[in-house]
């Protein structure tokens, strides 16, 4: 292939990643999108491909709509925001691939880390240390707890596997009803009451779709066991934040670790910053050097496949959004 092609990149890490992508795609004219958005640049409509590490959903949707020659879009995330899906559906001629399989291990470790921090009372112990307060705490163990994982894709399966290694009883809720080996029992959408009933730990790993938006709300939280803990590493709007804030004082759940939010960055005015029992992390559960390497390897493999006319990995079903 010697014909030059124009490729737009969004948030591509400088240094080794940029060098490797350039070397893998020598006929590509790579143009990094300006960090703060340039409508004129996004509307320059002769890009045939786009590689996305990080981009605001509304901006990416505008870019897709303004690029009539676009035929392949790769995103290092697993799910696609509704705005981008709508723009792609209106087109119907763009192959989309995602980063499924690259984030699960890091996210699963984050889930276990924040859950253990809660069970072992680490926030309170660390606060006591700052004031030299010798105050023993009674902790809990992961083994024997009943954990429910919402969404059994890459994130959910890795999380279920790691929790199971601690002796936790793990069940899962997913769109389909086919058994998943990482969990003891799989529930479909119509069985949601049975799934949530009596959970000690609820882990949300689901992508944001029309079906998952707000799916964890008052009715679901009310079914948790008193003293339960919630972790959201999927997408913020999957959990009804207001319902969660109202439920926390009643102990269902008694605490939460949130890595994703309905609005990001989380506004300073949000009560979640200061709600007792809530741990806020800035959407960084998968931010590890190892995740970055896995993402880059997948991008490079798909570039090689694209150049050779081979089937791409991780082609997204636009009807589902992942």
Round to whole Å and give the CA distance between 198 and 5: 55
3-state percent helix, strand, coil for the chain, nearest multiple of 5: 35, 15, 45
Q: Say if residue 136 is in the same domain as residue 163.
A: yes
What value does the CA radius of gyration of the chain take, rounded to a whole number of Å? 21
pLDDT of residue 37: 60
Q: Which of 264, 290, 293, 320 is catalytic?
A: 264
Please indicate whether residue 130 is annotated as part of the active site. Answer: no
Whether the full predicted model's pTM is greater than 0.85, yes or no, is: yes
Q: Which of 121, 161, 175, 283 is catalytic?
A: 283
Please indicate whether residue 185 is annotated as part of the active site. Answer: no
Residue 314 falls within a domain, yes or no? no
Residue 126 falls within a domain, yes or no? yes
To the nearest whole number, what is the mean pLDDT of the chain?
95
Q: Say if residue 144 is in the same domain as residue 231.
A: yes
Q: Is 232 left (phi over 0), alpha (psi -120 to 50) or beta?
A: beta
Q: Which of 59, 62, 235, 294 is catalytic?
A: 235
pLDDT of residue 2: 47
Please indicate whether residue 3 is annotated as part of the active site. Answer: no
Q: Say if residue 94 is in the same domain as residue 177.
A: no
Give tens-digit pLDDT for 163-222. 999 999 999 999 987 889 999 999 999 999 999 999 999 999 999 988 899 999 999 999
Give tens-digit pLDDT for 69-96. 999 999 999 888 889 999 999 999 999 9
Q: Say if residue 132 is in the same domain as residue 190.
A: yes
Find the domain containing 83 and state its range. Answer: 5-101+289-308
pLDDT of residue 1: 41
Query: What CATH number should be reported for the domain holding residue 193?
Result: 3.40.50.720
Q: How many domains does the chain have?
A: 2
Q: Say if residue 108 is in the same domain as residue 96.
A: no
Is the bond leading into 184 cis (omega within 30 degrees of zero)?
Answer: no
pLDDT of residue 41: 66
Round to whole Å and give the CA distance between 199 and 229: 9
Q: Say if residue 135 is in the same domain as residue 38.
A: no
Res. 14 pLDDT band, cuts 50 70 90: confident
């Amino acid at each position: 292939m010697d014909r030059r092609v124009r490729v737009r990149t969004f948030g591509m890490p400088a240094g080794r990643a940029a060098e490797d992508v350039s070397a893998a795609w020598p006929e590509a004219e790579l143009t990094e999108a300006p960090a703060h958005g340039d409508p004129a640049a996004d509307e320059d409509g002769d890009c045939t491909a786009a590689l996305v590490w990080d981009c605001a959903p509304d901006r990416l949707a505008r870019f897709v709509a303004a690029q009539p020659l676009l035929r392949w879009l790769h995103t290092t995330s697993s799910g696609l925001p509704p705005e981008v899906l709508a723009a792609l559906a209106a087109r119907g001629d763009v192959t989309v691939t995602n980063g499924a399989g690259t984030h699960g291990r890091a996210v699963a470790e984050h889930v276990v880390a924040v859950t253990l921090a809660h069970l072992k009372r680490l926030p309170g112990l660390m606060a006591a240390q700052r004031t030299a307060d010798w105050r023993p705490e009674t902790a809990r163990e992961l083994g024997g707890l009943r954990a429910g994982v919402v969404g059994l894709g890459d994130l959910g399966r890795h999380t279920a596997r790691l929790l199971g290694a601690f002796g936790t009883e793990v069940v899962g809720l997913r769109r389909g009803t086919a058994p998943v080996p990482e969990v003891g029992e799989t529930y479909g959408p119509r069985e949601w009451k049975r799934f949530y009933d009596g959970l000690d730990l609820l882990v949300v790993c689901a992508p944001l779709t029309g079906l998952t938006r707000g799916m964890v709300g008052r009715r679901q939280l009310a079914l948790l066991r008193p003293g339960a803990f919630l972790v959201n590493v999927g997408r913020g709007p999957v959990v009804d934040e207001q319902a969660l804030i109202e439920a926390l004082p009643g102990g269902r759940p008694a605490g939460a670790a949130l890595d994703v939010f309905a609005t990001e960055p989380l506004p300073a005015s949000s009560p979640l910053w200061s709600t007792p029992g809530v741990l806020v992390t800035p959407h960084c559960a998968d931010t590890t050097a190892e995740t970055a390497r896995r993402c880059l390897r997948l991008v490079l493999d798909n570039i090689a496949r694209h150049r050779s006319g081979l089937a791409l990995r991780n082609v997204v079903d636009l009807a589902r959004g992942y």
